[in-house]
């Protein structure tokens, strides 16, 4: 975890998905950086994102590449395109890990998933799933 990403992780613990936004040009981006990737200024603020987006791309994974990871395979690696614009790598949960149940551009929403006292991850599920 880097200092510039601290508001992001703090927000997740509070159940908020925060995204960095450039105060100079208004560009919303992810991951958190010290400089705006568009205009290179350091005037970075934060917005509370809606937590909504759509599935841009996905891959069903049958291997656990990280032992710390608590979701048993198979699971769905997902590239989420947030309503605010940025894309975020995550996991799609609460859905069968089956290409028949998952399609690109399906609407998704964030699920705040606590993995330790310090870390809450923003995972995603099909909108309205439970």
Contacts with Zn ion by CB under 5 A lie at 22, 24-25, 27, 36, 38-39
Q: Which is nearer to Zn ion, 31 or 112 (CB)?
A: 31
DSSP designation for 72: P
Task: State the minimum distance, in angstroms, from the CB of residue 85 to Zn ion.
Answer: 13
Give 41's contacts (C-beta < 8 A, 6+ positions apart).
22, 23, 24, 25, 35
Name residue, tokens 């996905």: 58
Give 11's contacts (C-beta < 8 A, 6+ positions apart).
17, 18, 46, 48
Task: State the minimum distance, in angstroms, from the CB of residue 18 to Zn ion.
Answer: 17
Q: Which is nearer to Zn ion, 24 or 47 (CB)?
A: 24
Q: Which is nearer to Zn ion, 24 or 57 (CB)?
A: 24
Do the strands 44-48 and 18-22 form a parallel or antiparallel pair, or are they unpaired?
Answer: antiparallel
Task: State the minimum distance, in angstroms, from the CB of residue 68 to Zn ion.
Answer: 34
User: Left (φ > 0), alpha (ψ -120 to 50) or beta: where does 11 sit?
Assistant: alpha
Query: In angstroms, rounded to a whole number, what is the distance separating the alpha carbons of residues 92 and 110?
Result: 9
Q: Which is nearer to Zn ion, 39 or 115 (CB)?
A: 39
Task: State the minimum distance, in angstroms, from the CB of residue 37 to Zn ion.
Answer: 8
């Amino acid at each position: 975890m880097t200092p510039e990403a601290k508001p992001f992780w703090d927000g997740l613990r509070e159940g908020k998905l925060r995204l960095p936004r450039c105060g100079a040009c208004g560009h919303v981006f992810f991951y958190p950086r010290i400089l705006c990737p568009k205009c290179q200024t350091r005037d970075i603020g934060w917005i509370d994102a809606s937590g909504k987006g759509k599935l841009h791309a996905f891959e069903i994974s049958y291997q656990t590449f990280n032992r710390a990871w608590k979701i048993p395979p198979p699971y769905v690696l997902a590239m989420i395109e947030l309503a605010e614009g940025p894309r975020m790598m995550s996991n799609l949960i609460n859905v069968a890990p089956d290409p028949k149940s998952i399609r690109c551009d399906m609407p998704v929403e964030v699920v705040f998933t606590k993995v330790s006292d310090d870390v809450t991850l923003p995972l995603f599920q099909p909108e309205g799933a439970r």
